[in-house]
């Protein structure tokens, strides 16, 4: 640790307010490189950080009496079907940008990691913005790797990138409804199999049931589009208002969050994915959703390549697993 620095557990209101200012500054750095994101003041972060002091843990690093950096996380009994872990959302860390940012994150994580492990939490995940190179380097050098990408694009920009064209040959596309629940559930099973297989290996994956899909259409702003060929349904895309697991940086009334897409294996690479995305993008524009977001496993080769062709990275989730003694 650099000299004159002290790590402690944050609980006092003054410190929570100082941490909220660091979160806001962190977000401002992201917006500087992603101007399509909403600006946020420290008031946005204050209730979140207050919640974290009550439901998780926040650690601060103080230098010369001022909060220089902080890191916090909360407990998840079953982190991504992988067991007990803790998660630090993108708003739950920050640094004052001092030359010590890299070593401050290293010191904060060393302090927190022991406490998290002693609490029975061997999986550690921290969501970082691309505008935080010091934190990314600090975690990369401490055993972390990227597992999830949250990305976004202005809907108008997506429309320009996907000009209107004929549907892929022999394919029709339309908006889906509850009457498509059976087809959607069946294709969702293909997606679950894909992320259960190498190299994603997500444990215990299973698609949503037919009745689950029927209910899904009642969710706020739920919209799904389906592609059909001679053999029936060959793909879908679904989107809704951003859910709790979507990066806070993209949350907002005018965001439509894509949270599922699949094309049947025999039909991949023929432009069906693009055609579905074009439909979802058109829907976003007509529904007044200026921003579209998506999240995907970085280990999912097809998905990563597909989404990064159109969306810009906003948040990377870094994960580390430690063997329990």
Ligand X SMILES: CC(C)(COP(=O)(O)OP(=O)(O)OC[C@H]1O[C@@H](n2cnc3c(N)ncnc32)[C@H](O)[C@@H]1OP(=O)(O)O)[C@@H](O)C(=O)NCCC(=O)NCCS
In the bound state with ligand X, the residue whose beta carbon lies nearer, of 112 and 272, is 272
10 binds ligand X (CB under 6 A): no
Number of residues interacting with ligand X: please give it, by CB under 6 A. 20
Task: Determine the 3-state secondary structure of 149 from DSSP.
Answer: strand
CB 295 within 8 A of CB 104: no
In the bound state with ligand X, the residue whose beta carbon lies nearer, of 135 and 257, is 257
Rounded to the nearest 10 degrees, the angle between the axes of helix 133-140 and helix 101-118 is: 50
φ, ψ of residue 236 to 5 degrees: the values are: -150, 160
Contact positions with ligand X (CB under 6 A) in 170-229: 191, 194
In the bound state with ligand X, the residue whose beta carbon lies nearer, of 26 and 315, is 315
As measured in angstroms, the least distance from the Cβ of 81 to ligand X is: 16
Angle at 38 between CA 32 and CA 39, to 5 degrees: 65
In the bound state with ligand X, the residue whose beta carbon lies nearer, of 41 and 265, is 265
Token pair, residue 210, equals 């037919």
Q: What is the CA radius of gyration of the chain?
A: 21
CB within 8 A of 304, min separation 6: which ones? 149, 296, 297, 298
**Considering only residues 197, 266, 301, 322, which one is a binding residue for ligand X as defined by CB under 6 A?**
301
As measured in angstroms, the least distance from the Cβ of 173 to ligand X is: 12
153 binds ligand X (CB under 6 A): no
Residue nearest to ligand X (CB): 273
In the bound state with ligand X, the residue whose beta carbon lies nearer, of 101 and 277, is 277
In the bound state with ligand X, the residue whose beta carbon lies nearer, of 21 and 268, is 268
As measured in angstroms, the least distance from the Cβ of 296 to ligand X is: 4
CB 314 within 8 A of CB 37: yes
Contact positions with ligand X (CB under 6 A) in 234-293: 261-263, 268-274
Residue 256 CA neighbour count, 13 Å, CB half: 26
The whole-angstrom separation of Cα 186 and Cα 232 is: 11
Binding site for ligand X (CB under 6 A): 191, 194, 261-263, 268-274, 296, 300-303, 305-306, 309
């Amino acid at each position: 640790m650099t000299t004159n620095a002290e790590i402690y557990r944050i609980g006092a209101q003054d410190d929570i307010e100082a941490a909220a200012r660091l979160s806001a500054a962190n977000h401002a750095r992201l917006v500087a490189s992603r101007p399509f994101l909403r600006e946020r003041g420290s008031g946005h972060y204050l209730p979140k950080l207050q919640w974290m002091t009550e439901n998780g843990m926040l650690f601060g690093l103080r230098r010369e009496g001022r909060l220089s950096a902080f890191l916090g996380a909360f407990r998840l009994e079953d982190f991504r079907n992988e067991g007990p872990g803790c998660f630090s959302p993108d708003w739950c860390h920050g640094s004052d940008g001092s030359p010590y940012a890299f070593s401050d994150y290293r010191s904060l994580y060393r302090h927190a990691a022991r406490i998290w492990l002693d609490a029975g939490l061997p999986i550690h995940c921290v969501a970082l913005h691309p505008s935080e190179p010091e934190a990314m380097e600090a975690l990369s050098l401490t055993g972390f790797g990227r597992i999830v990408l949250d990305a976004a694009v202005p809907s108008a920009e997506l429309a320009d990138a996907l000009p209107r064209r004929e549907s892929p040959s022999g394919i029709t596309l339309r908006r889906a409804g509850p009457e498509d629940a059976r087809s959607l559930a069946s294709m969702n099973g293909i997606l679950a199999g894909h992320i259960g297989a190498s190299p994603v290996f997500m444990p215990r994956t299973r698609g949503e049931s037919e009745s689950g899909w029927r209910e899904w259409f009642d969710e706020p702003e739920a919209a799904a589009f389906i592609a059909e060929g001679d053999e029936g349904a060959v793909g879908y895309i679904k989107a809704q208002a951003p859910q709790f697991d979507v990066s806070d940086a993209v949350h907002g009334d005018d965001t439509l969050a894509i949270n599922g897409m699949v094309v049947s294996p025999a039909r991949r690479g023929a432009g069906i994915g693009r055609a579905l995305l074009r439909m979802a993008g058109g829907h976003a524009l007509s529904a007044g959703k200026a921003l579209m977001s998506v999240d995907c496993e970085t280990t999912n080769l097809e998905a990563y390549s597909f989404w990064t062709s159109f969306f810009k990275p906003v948040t990377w989730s870094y994960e580390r697993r430690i063997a329990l003694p």
